[in-house]
Each structure stands twice: as structure tokens, then as C-alpha cells.
Structure 1
Amino acid sequence: MSGLRILIHGLNYAPEPTGIARYTAGMASGLAERGHNVRVVTGYPHYPAWSLEPGYTGLSSDEVVDGVPVRRLRHLVRGGSAGARIALEASFAAHSLARPMPPADVVLAVTPSLLGVSAALTSVRLTRRRRPALGIIVQDIYSRAVTETAVADGRLTRPVVRLEGGLLRAADGVSVIHDRFARTINRDLDVPLDRIRVIRNWSEPPSQEADPQWTRERLGWAEDEVIVLHAGNMGTKQGLENVIDAAGLVGPGGPRVRFVLLGDGNQRTLLERWAQGNHAVDLVRPLPDGAFAAALAHADILLVNERPGVSEMSVPSKLTTYFWAGRPVVAAVDPDGATAHEISSSGAGVVVAPGSPAELLRAVQQLAGDPARAQVMGAAGRRYAADVLSRQAAVDGYETWVRSLVDVRDARR
């Protein structure tokens, strides 16, 4: 079968080290490897630090990443408030609309970035000749994020629901990363189930081996400490003040527990102030790849923490990395949410109530006191990653879906 011209439109892309960027980049390179003509329109690298990565200047730039031509468009970079997020998305959307869209058979628009998706839809509709098919890839459910993180005034919720639902229904098809997402956008956003495809994010063995120079000693961790590592974004959704409060409960008489928050994000400064004087918690800046892999390998327990009320907006991308590390996971999350479902399905850890520092610390201490159980959980995570979350299965799914989008478009002519 001949290759398709595929344009991927999304705000986040490699070399951003965490979050959606690596899945979008992996999908792009995977489709290119299959003989498709793939191009990408994206923003400048800025996440999770919420500052432009050094070396990216000018209004736009062009480069090739893993064999895929990438055009980057300048945008505002602000984090924290809803207004700052809207300004970021609006500037990216306006810049992309001001540029002619490359010829394509299929446009894949990636959320979150509703205004970016809106710009992609507008560009598709303005195409004069053979209009491309439009597929929307839902990595996070935007309207649920507004509700569950309470980052915006409640008056914004209804307009966001209308916008997101309208965009998803206008597409030729929608892909989501979890079965829970399919049910949510069908129920809350009126997207027909027969227009939704579930394609899981994948998990691969670390591309970078753990650097042997990065030992527990060099990381500053004593051998008799129980290291509980949270890696990734420090944002509103994570609710990491719960972890700092749990660290404040660590006392004498039990295992020496140290919570380590590794990464960056728009809540970091607040968390640093919150943690002052708390000797059982460290905030560590992002590490190079080899050192990051070593940190995961040397930690005793890996941590997912979400603020109370977060349940359906996303599945943390860090989980796919955690599973391959072969360490048990403690998840302080909504017991009925998508993250808890993933922990239960994998057998890789335990779930405790979000926003309860005492429960979090108790789960950590129990796992620390049962190394055999911890080892079983770590092994289960690796098996789940290998059996269920393979990149090949994901790229297979995307390729089949992309071809179906063209069929849907042609059938509607």
C-alpha cells in the first residue's frame, strides 16, 4: 500500500523529555519508518520547565528529528494560571494559522491544546483542493482537566466543554489512550463510540542505560534510606504538597524514608517554600538521561501522586517509564480513576487515597518492610509493559486508524 502524506499538529514535541512530546515524536517516527511522508508542525520546546529551551530563537525554525521534518513556531511561554495557558495556546494557534498548511492526506491534531486543534481544523476546512482527513489524538481530556484541577474560574467550564466537544465531533475520527477516555468523551462530550479508537501509549525499555557513575552515594542517598521517587512534572494536577506533608510525618522508630521530587514545573517554587526545614524530602532538578535512568534504578519505591478530584483527565505518562524500571509503585490517586485502573491492571503497585499524607506514608512503610512483595510488584510492572504497552502495537494502531480516516473522508464526499 502506498504511503500517505501525514501532517502532525501539536504543541509539544521532542526534545521535551517528559509528557506527551515523546509519544507524539515516537508516533511520527514510527509512521515515517513505515513509508509514510510525515511532517510535523509544533511549538518550541518549553515543558516541563515552562521556559524556552536554549538555542531556539526566531519566529520559526526547521529541523529534522529522527528522520521527520519538523517546523517549530514561536509562541508565548507562560505557566500557572488559566490566562497564561490560554495566551500560550492562542499565540501558537495564531502563528500556525498565519502559515500555509503543507499538503496532506491526513492531519493529526494532538490535545491538550484546544486552540491548536481549532487552528488545525480551520486550516483543513480552508483547504481549497482535496481536503485532508482530520484525526484528533486525545492525550488529556481538556474539559476534565479544567474541572478536576480547578485552575480556572468555574464559568469557563461550560465554554470549554462546548469547544472540546465540538472539535471532537467535527473530526473524521478520534483516538484516545485509554478505555476510560472513550467512555468519558462519549458520555460527557457526545462523541459517538463508533468514531473513537483506543490506542494505548507505549512503554519501551529505557533508551539510555543507567550511568554506573550515578550511584546512590552520588545521588546523595544513604544505603539504609528508603527512597521514594516522584519523577516528572510539578504542576497543579500532581498535588505534590501531599508528598511534602507525608515527609513531615516521618519520625524516629521506623524506616528512614526520604521522598525525592525529581523534575520541574510551574509549582516548583511553591513546593520549595513548602518543603523548607523538612529533612525527609528533596527537590531535585531534571537529570541527564543516564543519570535519570540510574535514579529510577536505585530508588526503592516509585510514586504517582494526584490531587484529590483528579480521576479522568489523564493517565500519567510517567507510569510507562516506571513499569520498565522494575520498582514497586505507590499511587496516591482516586481509587476509581484511570490511574488506579492502570495500577490494578498491571499488578505493579498499591493505590492509596489522594490527599492523605498519613496513608501515603503508611503504604511506603509497609512496602519497605516487605521486600519480597515489592520485588513481585516490580516484576509485574515489567511484564505488563512488555506484554500490553509495546510501541509496535501502538504504531500498528495509528497506521490502521490513519488509513481508516482517509476512507471516512472519501465516503463523505
Structure 2
Amino acid sequence: MKILLYSMNFTPELVGIGKYSGEMAQWLHAKGHDVRVIASPPFFPNWAVFEGHSAWAYRKTDWNGITIWRAPTWVPARPRALARLAHLFSFMVSSLPLLFAQIRWKPDVVFVVEPPLFCAPSALLFSRVLGIKSWLHIQDYEVDAAFGMGLVRGARVRRFALSIERWLLRRFNRVSTISAAMLDKARDKGIDETRLVLLPNWVDVRSIFPQPAGASDADGTTGYRNMLGIPADEVVVLYAGSLGAKQGIELLADAAHRLVAAAHIHFVFCGNGPSREPLKAACANLPRVHFIDLQPAERLNELLGMADIHVLPQRADAADLVMPSKLAGMLASGKAVIVTAHAGTELSNVVSGRGMVVAPGDADALADAIAQLAVSRPQREAMGAAARSFAETELDRNAILQRLDRELTRCVAEPLAVPAPTGSRP
């Protein structure tokens, strides 16, 4: 099968959409599919183009047998609302020539990853011109999130943007997304049940697996703990991932301040992004708060295994519009997880029984939950075992990508017909 993956974010980005798009392309290629990719230069989560790549030039490269075309893309240093929109729009415009250059190749399916939704119209047009199938994979409901988080305002603008989004979504042959709640939202937008696919962000449970928090490396050291000067018998609270607006990262500094007297608790923040410097400033006078950059993929298991407790803050206004991709690795590591989410949200439902859930924005509740787990190894171990079991049964990479492979085959084999729009649920 010829698959054209149209994904702004792509490897070598270590976190977020780029990580998953890269792993998906690699897996499908290994299964014998002919995969080509249209992407931007890598920039996430630092919001700076990676060394060796250009923001202003078209590039064609080969990555393990996969051809990647990079479209020049403007990357703002401060991704505020208008700057972010201009950033997404720049990729859409610059990638158009690359997209329509694939007409001679004629893929069997064009697989578009949202964000950015800006690329959906051109992908649909491309699929109609060639008479091929179209697939939209939603990692974030960026329209809902932009208005929900106050990045874009105005009732009329919102109604117009949502109506355009619904019109586009209903015209793809398949629409997939990463959680049950996000799938429900797709139904609410009028997408027919027969065209919906659940495709959660996965984890390689053979590469990420439980290990003691103070486990020694082959040379007798204790890895990251040794590097950071953290004794093996003290408790590490770890956040590992991008540091951006949707995470509500400032809550971690508030919790660390409340636990400053707990001499056995260390906070480790591993990540990069726009919120890193404000977070460092907020923690400047705290003695047991440590910062490290994003780590290479080959050390991810060691990094996650350093933790006794994983923390995952999320803003309430982003609930069920996004699903944190970093959660899968946390669960697979077999350690207790604390998330901030309202009851009934997808994030709450996944973590309940496998960790602790506290209200978004409640620093006291988060600090109390950390303090409770820090003194109860049996509770941490029980939650970690339940988390690992869930990862093995629900989030295994091979199982999820095999499902994708089957659905792609089924989609391509169906008679070609323009999806008929259906009404929204009341």
C-alpha cells in the first residue's frame, strides 16, 4: 500500500505528535508499505528549528527507507495565539507544492494529522483529484482548544470556525482520534460511526518496563539519581515532557513550595518548552527541585524508572480536547501517577484506580496527594502494578498499529464514494 503521511510534526522530535508520527511511519514501512512523509522542519518542544535543519528551505531526506519532504515553516520563539496561527498557516502554504507533487506517485491514501487543521482542505482536494482515500487523525481538537483556553475569542468567530471544522471532518473517508472522549466529540460533530476509528497513543511495553526507582546501572551508579545527587532511598516526583501552555505547569511549582519542608521528596522536571524558564524562576529558591533537558529516546526507560511518583498536570479548559501523550509511558513504567483532572473526563477515567486524580489548579490537593504517596510504598506499588497492566492490555504499540494496518487496508479496499454529511447529535 502507498501511504502519504501529511504530518507537520515528525521525527526527530522526541515528544508529542512528532514522536508518534515517526513511530507510525517506521512501523508501517517495516510491514512492507511504501510510506512517504510531508513535514515541517523539527522544532518541538523548544520552538526553535533543530540544528542541521532549515526553517526557510525545502529539504528531501531519506530516513530508514522512508522519503521525507520538509516544507519551510515559520517558527515563532513565543507561540502566542496569532503567532501560532501564522506558524500553522505557513506550513499549510509551503507544503502545498510538496503535496501536489505526489500526484505522479498516486498514493492509495493520504493520512493527515491534526494539528494543523489548515492542511485538511488541501488533503481533501488532493484525494478527490486522484480518486484516493483520505484519513484524518486528530491528536488535538485545536479549534475547541483554542477557544476553550482563551487563545482565540468571539462567539461569531467560534461558530464560524466550528462550522468549517464540521464540514471538513465529515468529508474524510476515515477520522481517527486518541481517546474515547475525543471519539464522542467526533460523533457530536456529525461524523458517521462507520468512519470512526479509535487510535490511542501507544507505548512500546517491551522498551518501557518497571524497574526499581533506585536501580543501579552496570557501572554501579544509580543513573539519573547519581547525576542529580538524589539518594536511592528518597522519593522522586517526576514530570517528563513538553513544558507548554496546555500543561498547567505552574501548579508543579506551587506544590513544590508547599512540600519544601519534606526533606525526603525531590522534584525532577525533565523537558523543554515556553514554560520552562517561568517554572525555573518560580522554583529558584527550592533546594530539592532539579531541571534536566529532554533525554534521548534510548534513555527514556531509565528516566521514567527513576521516578517513585509521576505527576501530570493538565488545565481544566483542555480536558477531553487533548489527551497527554506522555501518559502512556508513565503507565508502562509501572509507577504511581498523579494527574489533575475533573471526575468523568477521559484522563480521570484512565488514571482512577491506577493512580490519584486531583482537581485542576488545586495546588494543596496535589501536594497532599504527593505527600500521601511519598510515605506509602505499598500504595505506590499497587497503583504502579495496575498502571502497568493497563498499558500492556490497552496501549501496546504493536496491537494498536496492527489495528491501524487493518483499518487502512479496509478503507483502501472500499468503493470510492464521497462521505455523505450527517447531522450533529442534539
Fold equivalence (TM over 0.5): yes
Output one character per residue of 1:257-310: Cα deviation in whole Å (capped at 9) or x when no partner.
232221011222322333332334333322234554323212210111012332
Distance 1:33 1:269, change over 3 A: same
Distance 2:207 2:58 in 1: 29
Distance 2:265 2:144 in 1: 34
**Counterpart of 1:271?**
279
**Counterpart of 1:339?**
347
**Counterpart of 2:160?**
159
* Residue type at the aligned position of 2:276: R
Distance 1:144 1:221 in 2: 42
Superposition RMSD in Å: 2.2
**Counterpart of 1:65?**
63
Output one character per residue of 1:174-214: Cα deviation in whole Å (capped at 9) or x when no partner.
01122211111211x22222221112222113648999352
**Counterpart of 1:117?**
120
Distance 2:64 2:207 in 1: 14
Distance 1:277 1:159 in 2: 47
Distance 1:290 1:38, change over 3 A: closer
| Gaps in structure 1 of 5+ consecutive residues | none
* Residue type at the aligned position of 1:107: V
Distance 1:171 1:332 in 2: 34
**Counterpart of 2:185?**
184
* Residue type at the aligned position of 1:157: R
| Gaps in structure 2 of 5+ consecutive residues | 210-214, 420-426
SS at match of 1:98: helix
* Residue type at the aligned position of 2:35: V
Distance 1:163 1:275, change over 3 A: farther
| Identity fraction in percent | 29
Distance 2:390 2:208 in 1: 20
Distance 1:45 1:208, change over 3 A: farther
**Counterpart of 1:250?**
259
Q: Please report how far the alpha carbon of residue 255 of structure 1 lies from its aligned counterpart in structure 2 after TM superposition.
A: 5.4
Distance 2:148 2:230 in 1: 35
Partner of residue 108 from structure 1, selected from 103, 106, 111:
111
* Residue type at the aligned position of 2:410: S
* Residue type at the aligned position of 1:119: S
Q: 1:290-329 residue pairs with structure 2 within 5 A?
A: 290-329=298-337
Q: Please report how far the alpha carbon of residue 412 of structure 1 lies from its aligned counterpart in structure 2 after TM superposition.
A: 5.2
**Counterpart of 1:76?**
74
Q: Normalising by the residue count of structure 2, what TM-score does the alignment of the two structures yield?
A: 0.88
Distance 2:44 2:88 in 1: 13
Partner of residue 394 from structure 2, selected from 375, 388, 394:
388
* Residue type at the aligned position of 2:225: R
Q: 1:229-248 residue pairs with structure 2 within 5 A?
A: 229-248=238-257
Distance 1:211 1:71, change over 3 A: farther
Distance 1:9 1:182, change over 3 A: same
Output one character per residue of 1:22-60: Cα deviation in whole Å (capped at 9) or x when no partner.
221222222222222111111111111110000013512
* Residue type at the aligned position of 2:173: D
* Residue type at the aligned position of 2:342: D
SS at match of 1:237: helix
**Counterpart of 1:228?**
237
Distance 2:260 2:73 in 1: 47
The answer to whether the 8 Å contact 1:310/1:334 transfers is no
The answer to whether the 8 Å contact 1:176/1:182 transfers is yes
**Counterpart of 1:353?**
359
* Residue type at the aligned position of 1:238: Q
**Counterpart of 2:212?**
none
SS at match of 2:247: coil
Distance 2:151 2:415 in 1: 37
SS at match of 2:245: coil
Distance 1:402 1:303 in 2: 35
SS at match of 1:260: strand
Question: How many residue pairs align between the two structures?
Answer: 403
Distance 2:260 2:284 in 1: 17
Deviates more, 1:276-285 or 1:174-183: 276-285
Partner of residue 29 from structure 1, selected from 26, 31, 35:
26
Distance 1:30 1:22 in 2: 12
Q: Please report how far the alpha carbon of residue 350 of structure 1 lies from its aligned counterpart in structure 2 after TM superposition.
A: 1.0
**Counterpart of 1:50?**
47
- In the alignment, is residue 19 of structure 1 matched against residue 16 of structure 2? yes
SS at match of 1:64: strand
Distance 1:256 1:247 in 2: 12
Deviates more, 1:6-15 or 1:162-171: 162-171
The answer to whether the 8 Å contact 2:246/2:314 transfers is yes
Q: Normalising by the residue count of structure 1, what TM-score does the alignment of the two structures yield?
A: 0.91
Distance 1:112 1:20 in 2: 9
**Counterpart of 1:41?**
38
* Residue type at the aligned position of 1:24: S
The answer to whether the 8 Å contact 1:7/1:106 transfers is yes
The answer to whether the 8 Å contact 1:144/1:312 transfers is no
Distance 2:311 2:18 in 1: 21
Distance 2:13 2:126 in 1: 26
Distance 1:54 1:185 in 2: 38
Q: Please report how far the alpha carbon of residue 409 of structure 1 lies from its aligned counterpart in structure 2 after TM superposition.
A: 5.0
SS at match of 2:318: coil
SS at match of 1:203: coil
Distance 2:395 2:146 in 1: 28
**Counterpart of 1:374?**
380
Distance 1:270 1:409, change over 3 A: farther
